[in-house]
Amino acid sequence: MAESSHLSEAQRELIERARELGHDVLGPLAEKGQPGRINRPLVRALGDRGLLERVLPSEGAGSAVELCLLREGLAHGCTEAETALALQGLGGYPILRSARPEIREAWIPRLAAGEAVAAFALSEPEAGSDAAALALRADVDGDGFRLTGTKMWISNAPEADVYTVFARTTEGAGARGVTAFAVPRESEGVSGEALALLSPHPIGRLEFDGVFVGAEQMLGEVDKGFGVAMETLDLFRPSVGAFAVGMAQAALEAAVSHAARREAFGRPLSEFQAVAHQLAEVATRVQAARLLVHHAAAAYDAGVRPVRQASAMAKLFATETAQHAVDVAIQVHGARALEKGHLLEHLYREVRAPRIYEGASEVQREIIARELFRETV
């Protein structure tokens, strides 16, 4: 693939393997899944083929570049598999990095094998982009805490087996008063409901009615949970861009193939400058997005901290580019692309959400702007 010529041979092999698995193995499993429900056979297949173990390694930290390659490759072949892998990593990584040994040993092997499903429970009805405004309370109760409140728009809820939950332990302290916990679904007082959103994977609301969590379930230290969340998001944010790049590449290839075959007024669409130049622009933007993503991920793996500006640029440009790429591809195809079951109809539904979650595009622009002006002070 010319677009991956900057990668090493091993990296190219990884992304190609992810593509092949997505198309040939995981895609058929995804088709058997029920929209809005966790596809457990799909998650198990990701574990059986060692992909989840790469995201949740038994030793050491995850690689941002490797995560990006996996997500781009899977997104090209099977967006449902890509999302299942990403959500497992997002929910499990705080447990991997910050849990007590007994909690880590109880969950990480099962999550890496695809035997259990994790979720990252951060957002609330009044705390989306402003995660420091969390209101779900964690009140001290003996040697533990009682969780009371609501989580909203949580991927894999309410069916996940374990939730990484962020709760308010010190009022009025903003980001400095949040603590993270690993909360099993079967904990007394946990309930939830699925939400009907434009999404093929489950998203729901969670209610915590005085849920007791022991001190051993705490991830990290009291009032240091925001750091746990940011460590996870710093790793995963560039890979949201990789997900977008994978979808954009699939849309571009579909449009190029269609334009080369489809004739109008006696000649292929590819011979119309209005079509060819649009696709040339899309190809350029997709490759630029890919390089921004890989730059941010490589910086993270090299130990550069913070990487917030590079990650924000990567996520912003890649997700906005993917939306444009899918839109252009649909325009090239015409009405057939809007038929239920068409690749581009599927991508059109999938591509919208990444511009919102893990920091909306507007938030990414704010991060970039703050970093720009920080350098002038």
**What does the angle CA 138 – CA 56 – CA 87 come to, to the nearest 5 degrees?**
65
Helix then strand then coil, % of the chain, to nearest 5 = 60, 15, 25
Question: Which residues make Cβ contacts (< 8 Å) with residue 191, sequence separation at least 6?
Answer: 158, 206, 207, 209
Beta-strand (E) ranges in 93-188? 118-121, 137-141, 144-155, 162-168, 178-184
From residue 326, alpha-carbon distances to 333, 352, 355 in Å are 11, 10, 14
β-partners of residue 147 are 138, 211
For residue 185, the one-letter residue type is R
Nearest to 140 by CA among 189, 93, 181, 85: 181
Distance between start and end Cα atoms, the chain: 43
Buried b (16+ CB within 10 A) or exposed e, 26-55: bbebbeebeebebbbebbbbbbebebbbbb
Q: What does each C-alpha distance from 377 to 221, 309, 367, 373 come to in angstroms?
A: 33, 16, 16, 7
- Identified catalytic residue from 207, 358, 362, 366: 358
Active site residue 358: yes
Rounded Cα–Cα distance for residues 259 and 279 (Å): 10
Strand pairing category for 162-168 and 190-194:
unpaired
Cβ atoms of 99 and 107 within 8 Å: the answer is: yes
Residues with a known catalytic role: 358
